[in-house]
Amino acid sequence: MARERDLSEERPVPEERDVSEERDVPEERDVSEERDVPEERPVPEERDPAGPGGGRFVAVLLALGALTYSVWLLEGPLATGLDPVQSYVSELAATDQPFGALFRATDLLAGLLLLAAALPRLLAARRRFWAAGGWAALALFGAATAADSRLPLSCAPTVDALCAAREDAGLVPFGHTAHAVSSGLATTGAVTAVVALTVAARRYGWWPPLARTGPLLVVLELAATAWTLVGVAAFEAERGHWGLGAGQRAQLLLLAVWLLVLAWSLWRGPGRGDGGGGRWLRAGRRRAEAPAGPGGRSSGVSPGGRSGGLPGGPAEGRSGRGR
């Protein structure tokens, strides 16, 4: 009888204490710490290295660069003698053309303006992949355009058969080859910038005008670029022009419109997360507006909802993190 009493007294006491301590205490502490720590530290907004008003200063540079780069639109009233449907735009700046000096000067100015606009924003982008890639591509476009103006063609091969024959025979100056390289880099930089910065506007919640209209401009720009490349391939294969000049002019016009939309977006100011924490900032604001619980912490209870879990036990619902 004494042994049976001892066994009955030893069973309940240690089992109840061990289970309550192992289930409730450590799980409640771990869950609360994992939930609250990331939400209590929203990322602060990053400063623009361009200084106060830097966004508007860059917007002015972009707008001036877009307008200067579009001086080729004067080819109509200036009567250059080149066919806008078949000729390269760069042929307007050839050394044997009557207005070549004007177009070379405006290309140089446009390239320098766009390069000056892209560099400070590239520094501000930091770890934002799409923004950094877009501003770097725009800087490449500006630098290549400036170099393009210093490496002009000596003649216009699309309208001058002798020039085309000399070019095929390799009897033209080295500037023709260098011009082809700089033009290719400019095109690559321009298309990459259009795509990357439009993606950045939508992905990071920046620049609402560009986020709305950018996707349409991207599609049109890619289509015009493809048209231009097909026309170049056809011309080099001696299969006609295929509207080469029209495709390239559409490409450049759409690029100028996109630059103006980007300039307007920067002039209006940042969107939800321009230069800052984006989703984390919004999560921090939502958490700051939530009702405070014991100890000054957010209770994690949504309006009209209920807290998950029993008193003293782990919560069953989701934390109030931003999506």
| 253-284 pLDDT, tens digit each | 999 999 999 999 999 876 554 443 344 334 44
CA distance 291 to 192: 46
Structure tokens at 321: 């993190």
Regions of the chain with pLDDT less than 50: 1-9, 13-14, 16, 18-26, 31-34, 37-53, 273-290, 292-323
Q: How far is CA 165 from CA 101, 144, 153, 155, in A?
A: 25, 27, 14, 11
Sign of CA dihedral 60, 63, 67, 69: positive
User: How many of the other CB atoms lie within 10 Å of CB of 154?
Assistant: 16
Q: Which residues contact 105 (CB under 8 A, 6 or more apart)?
A: 149
Number of H helices, E strands in the chain: 11, 0
Matching residue, tokens 């450049």: 252
153 and 175 in contact (C-beta within 8 Å)?
A: yes
**Long-range contacts at 92-100 (CB < 8 A, ≥ 24 apart):** 93/149, 93/152, 93/153, 94/152, 94/153, 94/154, 94/155, 94/156, 95/152, 95/153, 95/154, 95/155, 96/154, 96/155, 96/156, 97/156, 100/152
pLDDT at 128: 84
pLDDT at 318: 35
DSSP bridge pairs for 292:
298
Q: Mean pLDDT, the chain, as a whole number?
A: 76
Q: How far is CA 61 from CA 54, 188, 190, 263, 284, in A?
A: 11, 21, 16, 8, 35
pLDDT at 52: 39
CA distance 288 to 74: 56
CA 162 to chain centre: 44
248 and 228 in contact (C-beta within 8 Å)?
A: yes
Q: pTM to 2 decimals?
A: 0.69
pLDDT at 270: 62
Q: How far is CA 41 from CA 45, 128, 283, 311, 317, in A?
A: 12, 19, 10, 27, 22
DSSP bridge pairs for 298:
292
Taking alpha carbons only, the member of 256, 260, 230, 258 closest to residue 242 is: 230
Phi-psi map region of 268: left, alpha, beta (phi>0 left; psi -120 to 50 alpha):
alpha
